[in-house]
């Protein structure tokens, strides 16, 4: 293994410093602001530095990254942006114990608000953050269900995109295929079958098993069930199956 030279070490230190430069000032901007204050404040263009916006997905410079993120958050509350800022700071390894304690305090106090107002992208990022930083093994284990669920959905949707790019309008369901799946079990692979359209109780049973986690960790289970419900109301495979489901007893979504 090659030992880095002095200039390489200096370059690495400069890079790390740039990633966290002015992080203290960023946090200080929220001194004296309550969660309610931040909920009442909406992100507007006047709060962004328009001249320094970049097309970079993730700028090395912290303040530039946060400025880009703030511009992407126009119309959202400052509390949502504050939540996302805490995650960015932890990813850049800035005072992780202190920032995670604040992140956890925010979720305990405002989990219902965050689940209602954050996008799935940032809810998933929050789950990653709990898994990476929490000492609560049960919480991490429950939230891994969210990550597994979302990565499976995204993998499936990516496969669909690669094989047949999405049309401008929803593709109509083929009656002959739905009839086959209504009729009974259709082999998939390795002993698995496709869902029995209209009557399959697998997702209902999965949701019931999720509910059992409430006894272990209420916060993590609340997040898990909220994410699962959001998938029923977006253009996902779950929503397609819901559209075709006929059996009221085995439905897996909330009315």
88/82 Cα distance (integer angstroms): 10
pLDDT of residue 121: 94
72/121 Cα distance (integer angstroms): 13
The predicted-structure confidence for 209-228, as pLDDT tens digits, reads as follows 999 999 999 999 999 999 99
User: What mean pLDDT comes out for the span 67-95?
Assistant: 94
pLDDT of residue 15: 42
- Comparing CA positions, the residue from 93, 102, 106, 96 lying closest to residue 62 is 93
User: What mean pLDDT comes out for the span 234-252?
Assistant: 89
The predicted-structure confidence for 139-164, as pLDDT tens digits, reads as follows 999 999 999 999 999 998 888 888 87
Tokens 């204050």 correspond to 37
Q: Give the CB-side neighbour count of residue 198, counting CA atoms within 13 A.
A: 10
User: What mean pLDDT comes out for the span 154-180?
Assistant: 78
60/20 Cα distance (integer angstroms): 9
243/232 Cα distance (integer angstroms): 10
95/70 Cα distance (integer angstroms): 22
Tokens 């005072």 correspond to 95
The predicted-structure confidence for 86-118, as pLDDT tens digits, reads as follows 999 999 999 999 999 999 999 999 999 999 999
195/134 Cα distance (integer angstroms): 36
Those residues whose C-beta lies under 8 Å from the C-beta of residue 107, and which sit 6 or more positions away, are: 114, 126, 130, 219
184/32 Cα distance (integer angstroms): 61
pLDDT of residue 54: 82
pLDDT of residue 60: 75
Phi, psi of 77 (to 5 degrees): -80, 155
pLDDT of residue 61: 85
pLDDT of residue 131: 98
168/21 Cα distance (integer angstroms): 44
The predicted-structure confidence for 4-63, as pLDDT tens digits, reads as follows 555 545 434 444 555 667 888 899 999 999 999 999 999 999 998 888 888 777 667 888
User: What mean pLDDT comes out for the span 189-212?
Assistant: 92
pLDDT of residue 166: 64
Please tell me whether residue 42 adopts helix, strand or coil conformation: strand
- Looking at the chain, the whole-number percentage of residues with pLDDT higher than 90 is 58
Global confidence as pTM: 0.85
Those residues whose C-beta lies under 8 Å from the C-beta of residue 178, and which sit 6 or more positions away, are: 197, 244
């Amino acid at each position: 293994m090659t030992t880095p030279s002095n200039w390489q070490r200096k370059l690495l230190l400069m890079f790390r410093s740039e990633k966290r430069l002015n992080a203290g000032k960023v946090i200080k901007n929220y001194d004296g602001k309550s969660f309610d204050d931040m909920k009442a404040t909406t992100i507007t263009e006047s709060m962004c530095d328009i001249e320094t916006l970049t097309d970079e997905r993730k700028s090395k410079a912290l303040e530039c990254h946060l400025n880009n993120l703030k511009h992407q958050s126009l119309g959202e509350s400052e509390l949502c942006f504050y939540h996302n800022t805490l995650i960015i700071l932890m990813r850049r390894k800035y005072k992780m114990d202190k920032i995670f304690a604040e992140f956890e305090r925010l979720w305990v106090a405002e989990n219902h608000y965050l689940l209602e107002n954050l996008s799935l992208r940032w809810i998933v990022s929050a789950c990653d953050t709990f898994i990476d930083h929490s000492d609560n093994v049960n919480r991490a284990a429950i939230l891994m269900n969210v990550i597994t669920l979302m990565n499976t959905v995204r993998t499936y949707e990516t496969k669909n995109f690669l094989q047949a790019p999405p049309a401008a309008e929803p593709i109509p369901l083929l009656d002959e295929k739905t009839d086959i799946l209504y009729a009974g079990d259709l082999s998939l692979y390795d002993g698995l079958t496709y869902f029995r359209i209209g009557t399959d109780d697998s997702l209902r049973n999965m949701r019931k098993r999720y509910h059992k986690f409430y006894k272990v960790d209420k916060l993590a289970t609340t997040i898990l069930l909220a994410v699962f419900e959001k998938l029923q109301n977006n253009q996902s495979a779950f929503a397609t199956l819901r559209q075709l489901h006929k059996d009221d007893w085995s439905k897996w979504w909330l009315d």
